[in-house]
Structure 1
């Protein structure tokens, strides 16, 4: 039975963390082979850094001993058989990064566990786990399993994707250059509170999302695709959503673009 390090970043005030840890204790998996690492804002402050998902996971990974790393959110609840199903799927598909089948914690409606992106237009489509292993461009880091060996090859998350969004996309696409595929496994059922932390401040959420999306495209899209994407985004989508729909995204989108221009 492979050893697993479950890495849970948390700001320290999550109302969901207790449910997450309780579900880990109920997993149908030998507890001797599970290492649970909860990494908090306080842990990062000791290193002189502010909290972000990527920084927290990278710090926790230096302490992780498992053959596999399961990176998750503090608002995930695991079904008892989920970890065993993930490990079985990993043995069948060794050259992969794996995710599961997500359901909204409140409504129990299916939720996206992965995503695909058109790098030319920047259009992101959610991927819902089907009845068989479902391919995607990247697995959501709310529940992402990979080997320690692959993690070290990739040198973890790129910490520029702070405080969150697109660090998982970047990791999976970098893994893809090594021939590693991203798959969602239907037997792995998980409940998710759907970005509970970021939803407290939607303006900041949108700013980080746009900022890190552009950073992601700068890393993975060709110059022509990047230019086309920015033209479509800022000449069409952003003005429409901000000025017509009044959804609060216009100024955050401009701030996200400005950040990237300052950090070329």
Structure 2
């Protein structure tokens, strides 16, 4: 799968050229790299972010990308922004927020924003895309970006673990119901990923060691590790895979 990371052969390997994709959380981190990889593969990309400056710089880097600036926690705003987005063949639900609080200090505000973005928006955006695919009689692939936190308890991650656990089951139900329409739905479940946020949150060597000691490969994931897995699940190379939760975790969940 390492060959997928080079833009020169991605389209050849995966056959994604000419399709249209929508990526949420496209301004930074995994989402931004996902847009860049799809653009390099000849995919027409709709990039969704709540930060206009991130979208502006992304469009400069990847001419032809269609920017949509919207706050995914606002149901009505999402309907207005994406309701007429047009034919989308591939969807990556990547946008997420992580509010870390000890269980006894969890607040309603943190719960609401976490579930609004990490779960409810996934349902809403997926409904928009899936309804269009069904109306066109077209096959499609949806990938939800989950986390190892969906399957393993992590201290101070009460809401995040709960939301990602719900996303894993949502993925399975979506696969069950959308499968007859030739729409595949899968999730990727990364460990800590070395995005700018990941580096900031795990820069403390003592904190990092506590997690790295639980990862058999002894390292955190790079962004390309996650992007490659998503590209595979979007492509026809994974045409018999749906309802799966794919760990990209260096063996964390096997430990």
TM above 0.5, one fold? no
Tell me the TM-score normalized by structure 2.
0.29
More helix by share: 2
- Structure with the bigger percentage of strand: 1
